[in-house]
Amino acid sequence: MIICVVCDVLGKENNGTTIAAMNLIRSLREKGHSVRVVCPDEDKKGLPGFYVVDTLGLGPLNNYVKKNGVSLAKPNRDVLNKALDGVDHVHLMTPFPLCIKALRMAREKGISTTAGFHCQAENFTSHLFMKNNRLINKMVYRFFYRWFYRYVDGVHYPSEFIRSVFERYGGKVNAFVISNGVRSEFRPTEAKRPAEFDGKQVILFTGRYSKEKSHSVLIEAVKHSRYADTIQLVFAGDGPLKDKLKKLSAGLKNPPVFRFFSRGELISMLNTADLYVHPAEIEIEAISCLEAISCGLVPVISNSPRSATRHFALDDKNLFECNNSLSLAEKIDYWLDHPDEKAVRSKEYLGYTKQFEYELCMDRMEQMIIQTHEKRKNG
């Protein structure tokens, strides 16, 4: 098949949506499909299969958006016409201007479409300082449904959690619940812990430095832990709150590590850390948590009702009360106090993660596209 993947946001593979898009693109090409990509990335100009559009100007908001590492695409009918010429199917990554335009044009041309659901309302409203406004979040979901998802032939949800949220506030669609998948490289392997971490309890969190990831809760929890003097926090990621988080952690005996890790570095870190903590309040799936437990790390996860990640907990010992640093400190201390139980739980998680294997999930994504295409083709 000739498949066009349309991305309002692409850029570096340092966020869940971009990683999901690039994994799908690579997988479909490996399976023998011809894949075209429409995106706003200047560095993709001239590369085979890429169709590049300009970025969308947002006036006085441009600097704020740039600070948050986001560049939205500006719809261009001519570029989209070239990209859609002769394609069998279009997959849309987000419900934003470029994908909305591509959806309308695909429908005009009779091309089958699917769309991913990778943006919680709170991911959008947090930039407007209204992530806790239920009415506004509900209106965002209604907007997504009315202007985009109800016109798509099939919708990919990374988790049952976000499907239930959207069906409650937006509307029902032809749904496919498929994990974005964990690549096979994320597994237990021999790795050497950095010498500077000797004698320390290494706690890792992988996530963009943004408000909804709640890094501050983990920093405060360490201050309350009985192991505060030996805990070494490692925050794998990047984002606009980096300087603020460094200031917040100034009182810790061991300054946290703040930096972006390559895949190889991250796998090594996951295989040498003592515990994985996921304090995020808002999360559609959290592949980063699945990567951690696929390497044998035991997680402590926020029980936030706005996060799918809580469903990865095998029991209450792997959960803490959302945004409660004292509750998190208690769970951290429990697992550091019980290394034998932690080793048993680690093996249990390795079995649990088999359902999220990348190859299995990508096979299901391909089946979704083929099934949706055949259904439209047959009327």
In which band, very low, low, confident or very high, does the pLDDT at 12 lie, cut at 50, 70 and 90? Answer: confident
Confidence check: pLDDT of 144 > 70: yes
pLDDT at 72: 80
Q: Are 300 and 331 in contact (CB under 8 A)?
A: yes
| pLDDT at site 57 | 67
Phi-psi region for residue 209, left (φ > 0), alpha (ψ -120 to 50) or beta?
beta
* pLDDT of the residue at 62: 47
DSSP-derived letter for residue 56 is P
pLDDT in tens, 57-103: 655 444 545 555 566 889 999 999 999 999 999 999 999 999 999 99
- Which of 101, 145, 141, 147 lies closest to 124 in space, CA to CA? 141
Are 165 and 208 found together in one domain?
no
DSSP E strand boundaries for the chain: 2-6, 34-39, 50-52, 89-92, 112-116, 154-157, 175-177, 201-206, 231-236, 257-259, 275-278, 299-302, 319-320
Q: Is the domain of 278 the same as that of 204?
A: yes
Range of lowest pLDDT (21-30, 70-79, 86-95, 219-228): 70-79
Report pLDDT for 178: 96
27/119 same-domain check: yes
What's the pLDDT score for residue 60? 47
Report yes or no on 186 lying in a domain: no
Residue 189 lies in a domain: no
Domain-embedded: residue 190? no
Distance CA 4, CA 156 (A): 16
Same domain, 8 and 134: yes
Q: Please tell me the distance from the alpha carbon of residue 298 to that of residue 303, in angstroms, as a whole number.
A: 16
Whether the per-residue pLDDT at 317 is higher than 80: the answer is yes
Q: Return the pLDDT at 68.
A: 54
CATH number of the domain encompassing residue 216: 3.40.50.2000
Does residue 342 belong to any structural domain of this protein?
yes
In a domain, 159, yes or no: yes
pLDDT tens readout for residues 153-190: 999 999 999 999 999 999 999 999 999 999 999 999 99
Element (H, E) at 366: helix 358-377
pLDDT category of residue 55 using cuts at 50, 70 and 90: confident
Question: Within this chain, do residues 75 and 221 fall inside the same structural domain, yes or no?
Answer: no
Distance CA 344, CA 379 (A): 52
Query: What is the domain count for the chain?
Result: 2
Domain that holds residue 318: 195-356
Q: Determine contact, residues 235/257, Cβ cutoff 8 Å.
A: yes
Global confidence as pTM: 0.88
